[in-house]
Amino acid sequence: MHVLIAGAGIGGLGAALCALHFGHRVTVVERADKLREVGAGIQLPPNAMRVFRALGLEPGIARNAFAPEAIEARMGETGRTLFDIPLGEAAKDRWGAPYLHIHRADYIAALRSALEARAPGSLQLGAGLADYRQTERGVEAVLDSGEVLHADLLIGADGIRSAVRKRMLGPDAPVFTGNVAWRAVVPVSALGEQAPRPTACAWMGRGRHAVTYRLRRGALANFVGVVERSDWTREGWSEPGERADALSDFAGWHPTVTTLLERVPDGALHRWALYDRAPLPRWTDGAVALLGDAAHPMLPFLAQGAAMAVEDAWVLARALSVPGRGVADSLRAYQAERLPRTTAVQAGSRANMGTFHQRTAWGRLSTYGPMWLAGRLAPTLVHRRMDWIYGHDVTRAPA
Ligand SMILES: Cc1cc2nc3c(=O)[nH]c(=O)nc-3n(C[C@H](O)[C@H](O)[C@H](O)COP(=O)(O)OP(=O)(O)OC[C@H]3O[C@@H](n4cnc5c(N)ncnc54)[C@H](O)[C@@H]3O)c2cc1C
């Protein structure tokens, strides 16, 4: 089958690699002239790594990544540790694949080079999808240039403001969640003894939280800080942020957090408003399907948005490969398998906002007290709470 994919983010490139794995032919059209991922890190959990292992991509992805030694939760102001639980080998033993942190540019580069090696010429840059039409033989996709491409099916992996979704379900707007995120990447060598530990660490605060971790074999420290506010709703990776504003949002916080913000290289501090969308009623229309953020954007509070796109990619490609089933039925089977899981992860991400941002003394005591106790008395409880997410193996599920 010839699979046309709109969007060359993690979801689109992942979808192309999975489709190739299952024996299909792919074309990926990407609106941007260059694949430029932003200067920020991303957590790559075991449930997504399983897919890359099945695709034979684990070594290429792991080469420039970093495997955190532990998962930590700390109070943002005092730095008090709520729990600090081993992750490295435990992740592999418990969830069957490593938990990695990777620079987004390294992630995209690894996927792109695998695609170019396996299907040379299949990626077209500067080729935005403007519209599509269903035909008796599949789909006709109309590009911004007016060129028309034919394929057996179209996958809309074109992100939160998806043109494919708009065409399929009509116009609507993603919803501002009331959260603004700061992001920064700083060389560890610039941070001295305040460098974040080699862990995945969530720092909790009133109406805000931060996450610190390392990238690129440990040489870079990544910072994401999320603050609840209603007065700033511009969305985009490239909005520059003022150091003074970031420091004021995290005033009085632990020096690991404030030192990181003080030493971000000039121009490397960015912020953007976080949007999501209520679960959609459907993601497919005949020979067209949505995938990744186009189908289910979510708050980043479980660090699973891209991982869900990678799981989608495998399930969709496998669904297309069931003998004797038509494209539309295969896409409906994909949606039936994926929608309950992504809806649950979207809900879990929203629920984590309450956990991370407790504002009242009682809220903090009743939330962080049990966390602290579990960290000391039953650390595996913390792992067990994540089993439903990290332990999910789409590469094993039956077709
Ligand atoms: C602060 C923050 C932290 C996060 N942390 C994590 C994390 O740790 N782990 C995790 O798994 N996820 C995380 N996420 C979520 C993750 O970034 C997204 O879920 C993921 O990048 C979505 O990938 P995608 O390919 O679906 O969409 P996108 O990355 O948005 O890619 C869409 C692509 O389509 C292209 N495009 C758009 N329109 C068209 C068109 N009409 N025609 C052709 N091309 C088009 C775009 O140029 C783009 O390249 C985080 C998100 C945020 C905001």
Inter-residue contact 1 to 320 (CB < 8 Å): yes
> Is 198 a pocket residue for ligand 1 (Cβ < 6 Å)?
no
Structure tokens at 362: 């009682």
CA distance to 199, 243, 310, per residue, from 250 (Å): 20, 11, 33
d(CA 225, CA 134): 43
To the query of whether residue 275 is one of the catalytic residues in this protein, the response is: no
Contact 202, 169 (CB under 8 A): no
Beta bridge partners of 270: 183, 240
Q: Are 83 and 204 in contact (CB under 8 A)?
A: no
Q: Is 276 in the pocket of ligand 1 (CB under 6 A)?
A: no
Contact between 79 and 209 (Cβ < 8 Å):
no
How many beta carbons lie within 10 A of that of residue 72, not counting itself? 22
Out of 213, 334, 368, 390, the active site residue is 213
Atom of ligand 1 nearest to the CA of 294: 26
* Predicted pLDDT of residue 351: 85
373 lines ligand 1 (CB under 6 A): no
Which pLDDT value is given to residue 236? 56
The CA distance from 269 to 253, in Å, is 18
3-state secondary structure of 171: coil
Is the beta carbon of 30 within 6 A of some atom in ligand 1?
yes
Chain length of the chain: 399
> Which 8-state DSSP code applies to residue 6?
E
Ligand 1 atom with minimal separation from the 224 CA: 1
Query: Minimal CA–CA distance to 380: which of 49, 40, 90, 42?
Result: 90
The number of the ligand 1 atom at minimal distance from the alpha carbon of 32 is: 47
Asked whether the CA dihedral 100, 4, 238, 355 is positive or negative, the reply is negative
pLDDT, residue 398, reads 60
Cβ–Cβ under 8 Å, residues 21 and 114: no
Q: Is there an atom of ligand 1 within 6 Å of 102 CB?
A: no
CA–CA separation, 358 and 209 (whole Å): 10
Per-residue tokens: 5? 């994919």
d(CA 347, CA 328): 28
98 CB near ligand 1 (under 6 Å):
no
Cβ pair 260, 194 in contact under 8 A:
yes
| C-alpha triplet 82, 86, 91: angle, nearest 5° | 125
Residue 196 three-state SS: coil
Atom of ligand 1 nearest to the CA of 13: 25
pTM: 0.94
Q: Tokens representing 113?
A: 């080079």
Separation of 305 CA from ligand 1 center, angstroms? Answer: 8
How many Å apart are CA 394 and CA 214, to the nearest integer?
A: 27
Cβ of 10 less than 6 Å from ligand 1? yes
Using CA atoms, how far residue 142 sits from 25, 148, 154, 249, 278, in Å, is 19, 5, 11, 45, 28
DSSP alpha helix (H) spans, 138-274: 163-169, 243-249, 255-262
Kindly list the distances between the CA atom of residue 39 and the CA atoms of 71, 234, 268, 295, 327, in Å, as whole numbers in the listed order.
23, 18, 8, 25, 38
CA 159 / ligand 1 centre spacing (Å): 5
Instruction: Kindly state if the Cβ of 292 falls inside 6 Å of ligand 1.
Output: yes
Looking at residue 399, what is its pLDDT?
A: 52
Each of the 399 residues of the chain gets a pLDDT tens digit; together they read 999 999 999 999 999 999 999 999 999 999 999 987 677 899 999 999 999 999 999 999 999 999 999 999 999 999 999 888 888 777 788 898 999 999 999 999 999 999 999 999 999 999 999 999 999 999 999 999 999 999 999 999 999 999 999 999 998 878 888 888 999 999 999 999 999 999 999 999 999 999 999 999 999 999 999 999 877 666 555 567 789 999 999 999 999 999 999 999 888 898 888 888 888 889 999 999 999 999 999 988 899 999 999 999 999 999 999 999 999 999 999 999 999 999 999 999 888 777 777 777 777 777 777 777 777 777 777 778 889 999 999 999 665
Integer Cα distance of 385 and 378 in angstroms: 12
Nearest CA to ligand 1 atom 39: 158
What is the rounded distance in angstroms from the CA atom of residue 332 to the CA atom of residue 288? 10
CA–centroid distance, residue 291 to ligand 1 (Å): 11
Ligand 1 centroid – CA 293 distance (Å): 6
